[in-house]
Amino acid sequence: MMTLKSVKEDLQARTLHAVSGLLGKFEYFTSLRQDDGSYSHWGLSRVYGEEAAQRALAEAHKNNVSQILRTPLRNLLEDARESSGQNGMEQQQFLQQLKDHEAESLPKDPSAGSRRHLSSVLHALSALVKARQ
C-alpha cells in the first residue's frame, strides 16, 4: 500500500532533498518565482492543488531564508562552494547571480530586516570569496 505524503513532506523529500546547500535551495526558490511573487511548480500543483503548493513553497522559502540568516558566514562559505558546484558555476559567479536577483529572491512578507540582512550576508560572502582568490 502506498503511503501518502503531505505537500510539505513531498517538497522536502523529493524536491529540496535533491538540491545541495542552503544557498542552492535559495537559488532554486528564486528560480520558481513568477513576476507576481507566486511560485511555479507543476508537479506539486498537479498532485496537491495550486493553493496547497503555493503555501508549502512559501513556507519552505521563508524557512530557507531564516536558516541562511542564522548560519555563520564560515559555514555559508562552504555552502556557497557546494551550491555553486552543483549549479556548474564558480562561487563568485553564483553569488553575483544571487545578488543580482536579490529583489525578487525574498519570499512574500519577509520578517522585518530580512532584506537588509540578506543583502549584507550576500555582500560579505562575495567579498570573502574575492579575497580568497
Please report whether residue 86 resides in a domain.
yes
| Domain range enclosing 106 | 7-132
* pTM for the model: 0.89
How many domains in the chain?
Answer: 1
Please report whether residue 2 resides in a domain.
no
What pLDDT, on the 0 to 100 scale, is given for residue 31? 92
Express each pLDDT in 66-76 by its tens digit. 999 999 999 99
Which residue, chain included where needed, has cell 582568490? 133
Please report whether residue 85 resides in a domain.
yes
Q: Is the Cβ–Cβ distance between 69 and 114 less than 8 Å? A: yes
What pLDDT, on the 0 to 100 scale, is given for residue 128? 93
Please report whether residue 1 resides in a domain.
no
Q: Which DSSP string do the residues of 14-28 spell out, in sequence order?
A: IIGGGS-SHHHHHHH
Q: Is 39 helix (H, G, I), strand (E, B) or coil?
A: strand
Q: Round to whole Å and give the CA distance between 127 and 55.
A: 35
Enter the DSSP assignment of 72: -
pLDDT along the chain (133 residues), means of 10: 73 92 95 91 93 95 94 96 90 92 79 84 93 81
